[in-house]
Amino acid sequence: MMGGMMHGGAPGMMQMGPGKHIEGRLAFLRAEIGITEAQAPVWSTFADAVRKSAMHKMGSMPMMQPKDAKADWPATMEAHEKMMASHLESLRTIRAAAQPLYAALNDDQKKIANELMMGPMGPMGGMGHMIQM
C-alpha cells in the first residue's frame, strides 16, 4: 500500500502543485519512518527546509504565457534557467538538512526512508515532487 501511494499509485500525485498538502506529506513521512523524540530536532530541521523550499517555489513559479504572447526564445530560456537555479538551491537546502536526519536514523528507518525517498518520481521518490514543492 505504502509503495503504491508513493510511487505513482495515488491518482493526481504528479499534478499537485508546489506546497500542496505539505504538512500531510511531512506527517506521513514522519510516521512511516518512525521518527523518535530523540530524532525530533533533526526531523524539525529537515521539515523546515522542506517547508521553506515549498514556499520559495510557490513564490517563484513563472506564470504561463499564452501562445500569442510576445516572449522570445532567449527570454523563455532565461526563465527556465532561473527556475532550474531555484530548484537546485532548494534541493541543496533540503539535502543539507537530510544528511544529519539520515545519520540519526537506525538501519530499519534508513531502509524505509530509502524506499520512500528514492524512486521513479525523482531524487526523493514520491516525495521528490511532493517535497520539491
Q: Which residues pair with 119 in a beta bridge?
A: 122
Question: pLDDT (tens digit, 9 = 90+) per residue, 29-77?
Answer: 999 999 999 999 999 999 999 999 888 666 555 554 545 556 799 999 9
C-alpha cell at 51: 517547508
Q: Cα–Cα distance between 39 and 100 in angstroms, integer?
A: 10
Q: Cα–Cα distance between 26 and 53 in angstroms, integer?
A: 13
- Give the per-residue pLDDT at 124: 52
Rounded average pLDDT over 71-99: 93
- Give the per-residue pLDDT at 21: 84
List the domain boundaries for the chain. Answer: 19-56+74-132
Q: Cα–Cα distance between 57 and 42 in angstroms, integer?
A: 23
**Residues 29, 127 contacting (CB under 8 angstroms):** yes
Tell me, what amino acid is at 94? I
Rounded average pLDDT over 8-34: 70
On average, the pLDDT of the chain sits at 77
